[in-house]
Structure 1
Amino acid sequence: MRIRDERPGDEDTIHELTQTAFAPMPYSVGTEGSIIRALRRSGDLSLSLVAEDDGNIVGHAAFSPVAIDGVHDGWFGLGPISVRADRQRQGIGKALIREGLERLKARGAKGCALVGNLDVYRSSGFENDGRLSCKGVDDRYVQRLGRSDELTI
């Protein structure tokens, strides 16, 4: 398996992978693939990584700028992140996160935030310490890595 940047022509595969991965999730409203398309269209898809195995895309992670207290100042959001169902729990998502965080660190990012299950993202170093919130989201799901030294996992 290798991790690479998204290339032209990957868009539909990423969309389908994301939609399929989120479909069985009780919290999904079915917009995750559209979110990636909208980020790409607006120029806000800062980093789009795919995990490829034997020429097939088996995972994807999107990173985009986020505002903290209304200011865009070096913080990024992680998500959506998807792994093909038959390849989950094999470390692919964690590898995508690790690679993305390393690239963000190299760009001078100040932090990375996400909305997700604490049990899933804690192993990648994310934490919920009550310092971040997201409008319309239960605060317990808002997580972060907040210093550049934390962007290495």
Structure 2
Amino acid sequence: MNIEVSNEKSGDELKIHQVTEQAFLSAPYTDHTEHFIVDALRGAGALTISQVAKADGEIIGHVAISPVTLSGGTTDWFGLGPISVLPEYQGCGVGSKLMKSSLAALEAIGASGCVVLGDPGYYGRFGFKVVDGLVYPGVPAEYFQALSFSDEFPQGEVSYHEAFSAQG
């Protein structure tokens, strides 16, 4: 299967919404608001990186990266997610392509690093790791990880954009 990754373009919004909704439909540990979060990030102008994966010209995956705030005042850090792949394409390398492409794009714009909330076994493959002193309150520490583009990590509490509270 030939998978192409590119930046979101005008007209992709509805399909991204549908892909994101379907990707998390049967997922555990979610309140099924990921598609609303992406819409709210876009509406707030907070989608720093928004890339789609296509197979045969059809969108089958999406990744969103948006700014985060750190209590210590460190800037130029971002949060990855949601990352979505249609269920029938999960496990086929689509998510890996989206991860590598979006992280390269993030580094290219001069970001200091990226945080993610998710499976350490999956995200660890891309260099994410738990960092002592960098926390996201209310979640088990092993599920909150960071990737630095300079090997320097900030300290403090991380807050995601207010769009992450979108409910519909």
TM-score (norm 1): 0.91
> How many Å separate the matches in 2 of 1:149 and 1:107?
17
Equivalent residue runs for 1:1-153 within 5 Å: 1-69=3-71, 71=73, 73-148=75-150
SS at match of 2:66: strand
Measured after TM superposition, the shift of residue 149 of structure 1 is 6.5
Q: Which has the higher helix share?
A: 1
For structure 2, list consecutive stretches of 5 or more residues without a partner in the other structure. Answer: 153-168
Q: Deviations over 1:28-53 (max 9, x none)?
A: 10110000011001111111000011
Which residue matches 2:162? none
Q: TM-score w.r.t. structure 2 length?
A: 0.84
Q: Give the fraction of aligned pairs with identical amino acids, expressed as a percent.
A: 43
TM-aligned CA distance change 1:71 to 1:37, over 3 Å: farther
C-alpha distance in 1 between matches for 2:45 and 2:32: 22
Shift of 1:66: 0.6
Moved more, 62-71 or 46-55: 62-71
Please list every run of 5 or more consecutive structure 1 residues that lacks an aligned counterpart in the other structure. Answer: none
For residues 151 and 105 of structure 2, what CA distance do their matches in structure 1 show?
A: 13
In 2: Cα distance, 1:81 partner to 1:148 partner:
24
More relative contact order, 1 or 2 (CA 8 Å, 6+ apart): 2
Instruction: Indicate if the aligned counterparts of 1:133 and 1:142 stay in contact, CA closer than 8 A.
Output: yes
Alignment RMSD (CA, Å)? 1.6
| TM-fit CA distance, 1:72 | 5.9
